[in-house]
Amino acid sequence: MPDALLAPSAPRLSPDAPVGRIEIRAASKPGYDVLLTPAALAFVADLERRFGWRRRYLLEKRVERQARLDAGEKPAFNPACGYARHEEWTVEPQPADLRDRRVEITGPVERKMIINALNSGAQVFMADFEDSNAPTWANVMDGQVNLRDAIRRTITHTDAVSGKSYALNDKVAVLMVRPRGWHLEEKHVLIDGRPVSAALFDFGLYFFHNARELLARGSGPYFYLPKIEGRAEARLWNDVFLHAQECLDLPPGTIKATVLIESILAAFEMDEILYELRCHSAGLNCGRWDYIFSFIKKFRNDPDALLPDRAAVTMDKAFLNAYSRLAVKTCHRRGAPAIGGMAAYIPVKDDPVANDRAFAQVRADKEREARNGHDGTWVAHPALVPVAREVFDDLMRTPNQIHATCHDVRVTAEDLLAVPQGPRTEAGLRQNVAVGIGYIEAWLRGQGCVPLFNLMEDAATAEISRAQVWQWLRHGAQLDDGRTVDHALVERVIEEELAAWIGRVGEVALAHSRHEEAARLFSDLVFQHRFAEFLTLPAYDRLMEAGS
């Protein structure tokens, strides 16, 4: 890809613009002052002033690319990428504590969750400011406080109801942090009158306060990078890393970052993404739920791209299995780890049969990943760590499988774009509506991940639900029983599923729930003609309106 396509010839906002003001439009709490110091805020402001214009430019490029996709363009591997795709090179070696990542657990930056995840027996805990975190100011800042305390091993928690106390074990998981994506802003913080990039805010505050402490304790500042759509967006992160390290007088490559391949467009630029981050790369991850959402979103105008019920879009489907195998082949050729995706199942405490079924499905999923060559995998609940570990211990006897180069794997553009077949049912439609309302309701209350119907739902899985309803409506999809998905049917299902949620929460809890507001937002998202890029954007506006 020519460099001219990676950035504009001149910035929209000059990086050398005069220093303006930094404004925080949110209430402070004890502990925030330790983080929001003049030096830390100046560091974040410097990142925004240097790189914010490039972020906004790349978001404009996303809009332009979507217009071409809407007009019928299909993604393809770019033969003009030259060295990045066709020559032999590798990423820098992995740090010692990132060489074995066979089980990774993820979750929000809530205090109890952090302790339990670090104690879970997983090799890695990914603390999430993104899809499993509703970005109220309290959640964002409490998360930064919690991570600071966890790194210094001073984090404790006492449950207000049970009185149970929580503290870290002697041995804990390696910490990685996922900042928010390039598309999001932190509207509580203004730099020169403009909301700061949420990604730069999350990264900058965490890196400034913790990079040296992590290194002193034998680890390092490790990150997961979400929602990247291609090489140019990876290059921006790399430039941010280089500058941040220089500011703290740390050598290039101190930061390590795993990129989530959760966009169909990024799947066509895996080599290029690794190349741009090669000094800082900790491989790629198959972010399967956002990847499915991306497939719907990017091909939303194509009536031939209709997916079946969400429950039927599993990793054994050809287009997803191809994506998994391509990630492994690409990473291993470049000396990088390829981490598998999330098992959204959680224990079913009151139903042994359902619980056994869930554990069996997780086991089968992890066996598929290990046999495909993945070097590790994700789980959403501590109880599933032993299940995933047993599978990888059995099928991966070495710390990783990077030595397995997968020369015989051949994945074409057609493989990645193959639309899976499967049922389209009223039950699938109802599940999408019920999950959409249930998740948005929790999000509006400040809860970014929530167990619903025996699955752990976060923004990525909820995005599939609302996007699929929009897609079926847009193209008048036919259900298996012959009915057409139209406005009247979806409106009736929304009304009935809202009533079901009201029945589940009961009269007392209803006074504090936001199910009716969530149903209105869900309706807005699925009935509007123009597809909303992310449900978290209008939902975040509602958080701001509520003073959160």
CA 425/CA 519 separation, integer angstroms = 21
Between CA 308 and CA 361 the distance in angstroms is: 19
Band of the pLDDT at 512, cuts 50, 70, 90? Answer: confident
- Classify strands 450-452 and 174-178 as parallel, antiparallel or unpaired: unpaired
**Are the CB atoms for 324 and 269 separated by under 8 Å?**
no
**Has 375 been annotated as catalytic?**
no
pLDDT digits (tens, 9 = 90+) for 213-263: 999 999 999 999 999 999 999 999 999 999 999 999 999 999 999 999 999
The pLDDT of residue 405 is above 80: yes
**The token pair that represents 185 in the structure block:** 């802003």
In angstroms, rounded to a whole number, what is the distance separating the alpha carbons of residues 433 and 490? 9
pLDDT of residue 20: 66
- What single-letter DSSP state applies at residue 345? B
User: What pLDDT score was predicted for residue 8?
Assistant: 38
Q: What pLDDT does residue 10 have? A: 32
Q: Distance between CA atoms of 295 and 309, rounded to whole angstroms?
A: 14
Rounded Cα–Cα distance for residues 133 and 110 (Å)? 9
d(CA 222, CA 506): 43
CB 228 within 8 A of CB 260: yes
* DSSP alpha helix (H) spans, 217-279: 231-247, 264-267, 270-276
Provide the mean pLDDT of the chain. 94
Per-residue confidence (pLDDT) for residue 6, from 0 to 100 = 41
Sheet bearing 194-197, strands edge to edge:
22-24, 185-191, 194-197
pLDDT tens per residue across span 426-436: 999 999 999 99
What pTM does this model have?
0.94
Q: In this model, does residue 455 exceed pLDDT 50?
A: yes
pLDDT at 68: 98
Q: Rounded to an integer, what distance in angstroms lies between the CA atom of residue 365 and that of residue 460? A: 19
Residue 344 neighbours by CB distance under 10 Å: 25
Q: Which domains does the chain have, with CATH numbers?
A: 49-417 (3.20.20.360), 426-547 (1.20.1220.12)
Which entry of 424, 458, 466, 514 is annotated as an active-site residue? 458
**pLDDT per residue over 291-320, tens digit each?**
999 999 999 999 999 999 999 999 999 999
Q: What is the percent of the chain with per-residue pLDDT over 90, rounded to a whole number? A: 89
* 271 phi and psi angles, rounded to 5 deg: -60, -45
pLDDT reported for residue 340: 97
Strand pairing report for 450-452 and 455-457: antiparallel
458 is catalytic: yes
What is the pLDDT, as a whole number, of residue 86?
87
Look at residue 530 and tell me whether its pLDDT is greater than 80: yes
What's the average model confidence in pLDDT over 144-170? 96
Percent of the chain surpassing pLDDT 70: 96
Average pLDDT over residues 143-154: 98
Average confidence (pLDDT) over 514-540: 96
Residue 121, Cβ density class (10 Å: 0-12 exposed, 13-18 middle, ≥19 buried): middle
| Number of alpha carbons in the 13 Å side-chain half-sphere of residue 235 | 15
- Range of 27-31, 437-441, 512-516 with top mean pLDDT: 437-441
Residue showing tokens 């390039």: 182
Q: Are 469 and 436 in contact (CB under 8 A)?
A: yes
Give the model confidence (pLDDT) of 9-24 as tens digits.
Answer: 333 333 443 446 999 9
* Contact predicate 112/233, CB 8 Å: no
The mean pLDDT value for 281-289 works out to 96
pLDDT higher than 90, residue 267: yes
Model confidence at 508, pLDDT cuts 50, 70, 90, reads: low
4 has a pLDDT exceeding 90: no
Rounded CA-CA distance 214/90 in Å is 26
Catalytic residue among 54, 178, 333, 424: 178
